[in-house]
Amino acid sequence: MKAGFLTVYRRDMTRFFRFRTQFISSLLQPILWLAFFGVAMASSFDRLSAGVTAAGAAQIGYLTFMGAGIIAMTALFTSLYGGFILLFDKNWGLMREVLASPMPRRDIIIGISLSGMTKSWIQTIVIILFGMLLGVEFFTGQSFLGALVSVAGILLFTGIFSIGFLCLSATIALSMASPEGFQGITTLLTMPLFFTSNALYPTDALPEILQDAAIFNPLTHLITGIRYFAIGNDFTAIGIHFSLGPADVLLSLGALLLFTALTFTIAWKKVRNAVIT
């Protein structure tokens, strides 16, 4: 008997590829961020790095610094809105049929979590390739094999993060009665998460209270992992010296695993107790 979560996964991925407008726009949005905001701001921010060096540290441009943040931003947006499929199914009566089937309810969460992870992986690869065409300096000095290992590390971080936020999105979707309510909550979450992270600028520049918030922001930990694998463990950008050790990366990985375990448990309990009339 085929696992139920594979059916859920295949259905969601089929929708993703079949609706070409959604598919193309999900790939174009991060590309436009890089092409317009990144390129436009690079010259201004790179002036801050002029003359700022550290012994043994690579000096990178703002476009490269921002490129890691764009990968994380895309994973956030894709995953946080990914649970909408459950609200759609609930409002159109399809969820009632799914819940009444012999399939374990946890397979619903597992299936859409895996589809959300797959979408984020596709977008991550596209952003990396397009960013490097624009001049993003990822994997500099690495061999081909080393670059593949780094890509695997980026996908590991992105996958764990995506599952965590997909589960959070699923919980919100199952709690809402209307698309407007779902959109309102997810939009309310997106901006604080994005702007209290280190996606576009170092968190050292934030007020102290926001620096404390950034420590508990999963997006910050995702970006830390991406920059470690894509840029390196010692570099300067925007006039600031960054040094990342294995302990920093393991701490960020542990924080993401803890976050994902928590949101998965909440989503599982939510779908297990769901009653659709």
pLDDT in tens, 248-263: 999 999 999 999 999 9
What average pLDDT does the segment 80-86 reach? 84
Q: Residue 58 above 60 pLDDT?
A: yes
CB 83 within 8 A of CB 166: yes
Residue predicted with more confidence, 273 or 168: 168
What average pLDDT does the segment 167-184 reach? 87
Q: Residue 37 above 80 pLDDT?
A: no
CB 38 within 8 A of CB 133: no
What average pLDDT does the segment 67-83 reach? 89
Mark 29-38 as b/e (b = at least 16 C-beta within 10 Å).
ebbebbeeeb
Q: Residue 65 above 60 pLDDT?
A: yes
Q: Look up residue 247 and give its two tokens.
A: 């302990």
Highest averaged pLDDT of the listed ranges 31-35, 91-95, 138-142, 162-166: 162-166
Query: Which amino acid does the sequence have at 80?
Result: L
pLDDT in tens, 110-169: 888 999 999 999 999 999 998 888 888 899 889 999 999 999 999 999 999 999 999 999
- In this prediction, residue 1 has a pLDDT band, given cuts at 50, 70 and 90, of very low
CB 167 within 8 A of CB 191: no
What pLDDT is attached to residue 121?
94
Rounded distance, CA 266 to CA 123, Å? 27
Q: Residue 52 above 60 pLDDT?
A: no
Residue predicted with more confidence, 93 or 88: 88
Say what percent of the chain tops pLDDT 90. 31
H/E stretch holding 242 reads strand 240-243
For residues 116, 119, 125, 127, the Cα torsion angle rounded to the nearest 10 degrees is -100
Residue predicted with more confidence, 98 or 180: 180
- In this prediction, residue 45 has a pLDDT band, given cuts at 50, 70 and 90, of low
What pLDDT is attached to residue 151?
96
Mean pLDDT of the chain: 85
H/E stretch holding 234 reads strand 234-237
* Phi, psi values for residue 273, rounded to 5°: -100, 5
Contacts of 53 (CB under 8 A, 6+ apart): 59, 236
In 3D space, the residue among 139, 106, 124 whose CA is nearest the CA of residue 8 turns out to be 106
